[in-house]
A = this chain, B = another copy of it.
Amino acid sequence: MTYCVGMMLDKGLVMMSDTRTNAGVDNISTFKKMFTWEVPGERILTVMTAGNLATTQALVSLLDERTKAPEDREPSILSAPSMFQVARQVAKTLKSVIATHADEGQRADSAFNATVLLGGQIKGSPPRLFLIYPEGNFIEAGAETPFFQIGETKYGKPILVRAYDPEMSFEEAVKLMLVSFDSTVKANLSVGLPFDLQVIERDTYKVAQQCRIAADDPYYLEISTSWGEALKSAMDSLPSFKF
């Protein structure tokens, strides 16, 4: 499994992904699931992936190769005129990678599936965030649904729904995401640290902040341990039930 969240704020985008992959609980590994392409001052594109690792690595390699020799290898996501066109290219590439492997055998269709979050901004348009399905279609975040999750989405969703605020600072958004990730990690062994974090500030067209949060990160440990107490206090603050 996997857990990735992409969140649109008034100030820009915050993206966070875990790094655990597993083939059964007895075979876990650490792989990066967040990938970025930049043309400083013109565009910033970040992809996060969930699903079959062979599929997502092939997708990222294909997208990457095309950016390195754009004159020969169209279409490149670095030359697409809009975020919508970038999403179409990513979606088409994803669908074709899955189709390549699904052709080979029976019952293999869903096993090769993957889902992608694409966030970024191209000069002249606002930041945009897309959720791309293995079928090659996609949806875009908006004011009513300003964040997307992929992978193990359920454990970490209630806190996002309740505490999200489009006006929050990047620091507050990271804190909120860490609580959401911590709830997920505690419930699903197939989601694990370290986490990759990236912030894209509106109208800067570059990575504003990027870091990896390790399992022994003091801030993460503090959040993880104090959240239990904070929740108990929140419960205490609610009115009491009477039979």
Contact = CB atoms under 8 A, between A and B. Distances in A.
Contacts of A232: 162-163
A178 B129 CA distance: 34
Copy count, this protein chain = 2
- Name the residue among A156, A162, A170, A172 with the largest chain B CB count within 10 angstroms: A162
Given A175-B240, A241-B178, A243-B209, A186 B161 contact: yes
B171 A242 contact: yes
21 contacts: A154-B154, A155-B155, A155-B158, A156-B158, A157-B187, A158-B158, A158-B159, A158-B187, A159-B231, A163-B231, A163-B235, A172-B235, A172-B240, A172-B241, A211-B243, A219-B242, A222-B238, A223-B239, A230-B234, A230-B235, A230-B237
Interface of A: 154-159, 161-163, 170-172, 174-176, 178-179, 183, 186-187, 199, 209, 211, 219, 222-223, 226-228, 230-235, 237-243
Nearest to A243: B209
Contacts of A157: 155, 187
A154 B241 CA distance: 24
A228 B163 CA distance: 7
Contacts of A209: 243
